[in-house]
Amino acid sequence: MNDIYTDIIGEGYPLVLVHGYFGSSNMWCNQKKTFSKHFKVITPSLPGYGESFKTKSLDNIKDMAKTIIKITKENNISKFHLMGHSMGGMIVQEIVKISPKIVDKLILFGTGSIGDIPGRFEPIDVSRERLKKDGVKSTANRIAKTWFVDGDKAKNFYLCEEAYQNVNQETGDCGLVAMKNWRGIENLKDINQETLIIWGNLDKAYNYEQVKTLNENIKNSRLEIINGCSHNAHLENIEEFNNLVLNFLGK
């Protein structure tokens, strides 16, 4: 656990950001810059990913959630706003389930309520097969291209390339297994936090049905759609994304 990288920047009320599959703490670089003017921003890299690539990866969402909770405790953070992207969106839903009282406002970005997502650009089992056959870099590159409207020509695609540079085969497979076996749909009715759901309308990983399900089942939620963006809207339309978050958090 000690090799888990956590970036903490800024002062004020804590805001924890949890990245997605093949992500890293640095995938939030454009958010850290802005949000740290108002909040103490905490961005861990999950075990096996990004800057935590030396740490043994986990193959279930619950353990990933417990890891984030442990990081907040180690940094004496007892209550915080929480945002998760993609697989990170599953992790934050699990955090709310395990420790509902520690989470203030919740942001679910480009995510859903089940891990084996119908309508994903390819089934998770296909990604696992391709990972085995093509290797981690080739698979990560192929998947990351679907996260941007402009694929690998996108201005911030390089952040994805940096994030998966040192990720190994085991971590790549563990993440897919974790997502495939996770189901949070039954727990949505128990989320009492004020919740913002953000989705790019050209997202190929999570279709509209996924965010609609979140919005219809979480009592105090609202859905904001960023047009012209794919899965990584926070790297494609940075200003609109950041403004949505800051407005929701009352800044």
Q: Is residue 233 part of a domain?
A: yes
Measured between alpha carbons, how far is 19 from 205 in angstroms, rounded to an integer?
15
Q: Is residue 1 part of a domain?
A: no
Domain CATH for 74: 3.40.50.1820
pLDDT at 1: 47
Q: How many CB atoms lie within 10 A of CB 131?
A: 20
Q: Is residue 227 part of a domain?
A: yes
Give residue-wise pLDDT tens across range 76-99: 999 999 999 999 999 999 999 999
What's the pTM?
A: 0.97
- Residue segments in the chain with a per-residue pLDDT below the cut of 50: 1
| Cα separation values, 61 from 92, 124, 145, 160, 177, Å | 9, 15, 24, 21, 9
Sign of CA dihedral 179, 215, 206, 102: negative
Number of domains in the chain: 1
Q: Residue 139: which domain range? A: 6-248
